[in-house]
Amino acid sequence: MTTTFSPGSLVRARGREWIVLTGSTAETIKVRPLSGSEEDTTWLNLGIEPVPVTEATFPQPSPQQKSGHDGALLLRDALLLSMRRGAGPFRGFGQISVTPRAYQLVPLLMALKQDTVRLLIADDVGVGKTIEAALIARELIDRGDVERVAVLCPPHLVDQWVTELENRFHLHAVAVTASSATRLERGLPPTESIFTQYPYTVVSLDYIKSDRRRADFVRACPHFVIVDEAHTCAATGQGRHQRYSLLKELAAEPSRHLVLLTATPHSGDDAAFYRLLGLLDPAFASIESAVGDERTKLRERLGLHFVQRRRPDIAEWKEGSIFPDRQTGELTYKLTGEWERFFEAVLDYCASVVESANGDGKRQRLNFWGTLALMRCVASSPHAALRALRTRAGVEETEAEDDLQDRLFDGASDSLTEDDIEPPAASEDPALKALIARTPIALNQ
């Protein structure tokens, strides 16, 4: 009868005690000696060991072994340290400053069952995707499976990720953005990269996606990558194909661990959703066209790589009321000064465009929806207003200006989605040029 040793079990073999690690099978077990280090990890083939591998046993304590208070404290400390070192199922819990909730361990357990971690964590906002992804990174680091980690995220989340990794997981990450990259590269040898010099990095997607930076990142990219707001990389639109091309190159390396985070994996665009799944495994991109048993098998395989919980689902874990009650209300904001005068001028322009249809119902509807998109951009921010007016007027921004904006803003942080971009007008309009000239941000340039 073959004895099965589960991860965390203590066994005796070759005259010493060992702890069984993950990755073991019924025939061979991966073990580390209790008194050794990660470098002493080895494999035991149960069928050819000269002395059978057995469960480790330790003699019961006897009254003659009693000692004083100092001895009891020493025994307690030794027990706590040994449990933290290897007897517990998770190595990384001794290095974190957060108490994970039970449901947040699900992605970690899923990841530990995979030789190469490929996960799409699509939990709802507030459930804790950052903690779930960082738990996986911390655990693989402490197990010695990975040495370097990179987090790819939109520019406005870089500082938040750096703070979370530092305060909660004791990972001293550096921010790699358009404003910090030059400083980090200063003094590095020609053969070194930021991503080989610094083991833990948080990288702005808008900075690293460009062709001239992507090649160096792909070459020196760590073997563990977390991608936050991953749905923005699979969607179509201006600049999005560069993000997707970057992730596709990273995912092409079969040994690279990849954890994708998003609260909206499917936003109505089927093609974007299946492109996102294809980053986990190229076969998953064909689920859309698969039928019958093939589709069923692919969906079952996907279930090992995809986890999604909504806030109501968390109630099943009986974690109590962990989410604040949502309270809605209206706050008024009064426009004043130059911005008020500019906004009024835009409204007048939009009204004149709609009235110019002269009773043509179809043209009037088109003008109405077009100017509505323009007003959404103008209401967003001065920078978005200027871009929308220039787009409608057919004014192309120069490459030098785009490069300047990348360096100043670390990407077009004020850019809106493709649905919000007002299309160019059919002909030149002097009124548009006048509006562009009086845009508050244009007045300061």
Q: Which domains, ranges and CATH numbers included, belong to the chain?
A: 10-58+68-87 (no CATH), 105-317 (3.40.50.10810), 337-443 (no CATH)
Segment 349-367 mean pLDDT: 77
pLDDT category, 82, cuts 50, 70, 90?
Answer: low
Both structure tokens of 372: 């509505």
pLDDT category, 202, cuts 50, 70, 90?
Answer: very high
Q: Count how many residues are written for the chain.
A: 445
Q: Is the pLDDT of residue 87 over 70?
A: no
User: What gap in Å lies between CA 114 and CA 305, rounded to an integer?
Assistant: 9
| Whether pTM exceeds 0.75 | no
* Average pLDDT along the chain: 80
> Are 280 and 305 within 8 A, CB to CB?
yes
pLDDT category, 106, cuts 50, 70, 90?
Answer: very high
- The sign of the dihedral angle between the CA atoms of 401, 180, 259, 280 is positive
In this structure, of 19-23, 345-349, 422-426, the range with the lowest mean pLDDT score is: 422-426
User: What gap in Å lies between CA 95 and CA 377, rounded to an integer?
Assistant: 45
Q: Is the pLDDT of residue 267 over 50?
A: yes
State pLDDT tens for residues 268-306: 788 889 889 999 998 898 888 888 899 999 999 999 999
Distances 401 to 152, 396, 410 between C-alpha atoms, Å: 25, 10, 13
Res 114: pLDDT: 92
Residue type, 435: L
Quick one: residue 358, left, alpha or beta (phi over 0 = left, psi -120 to 50 = alpha)? left
